[in-house]
Amino acid sequence: MRELFDGEHSFRVESLGEGRSRLIQSESLGEGRSRLIQSESFSGLLAGLLLRRYGADTEAGFQAVNEALKTRSETLTATVDADSVAA
């Protein structure tokens, strides 16, 4: 319900590898590397109460999503790299 509990979730992926476009200026993480920035902001009358009750579980869920995305992207990159070598 608006004004009782609001949340805004965002994901941003920055490509930081050599020869790839940069979305923002930042330090290089090396060839073929990317950075995932995930954020959430909560507001409203019930935000404090709900975050005290569910905040740790919510954060654990965000961390699980981050790890799954990392694993998936590394798997896809390894597959593409192996295909490039075989060609």
User: So what's the pLDDT on residue 72?
Assistant: 87
Helix (H) / strand (E) element for 12: namely strand 6-15
User: So what's the pLDDT on residue 38?
Assistant: 86
Identify which of 21, 16, 43, 45 has the alpha carbon closest to the alpha carbon of residue 32.
Answer: 16
Q: What is the pLDDT along the chain (87 residues), one digit of tens a residue?
A: 578 999 998 888 877 665 443 344 444 556 667 788 888 899 999 999 999 999 999 999 989 998 998 888 888 877 766 666 666
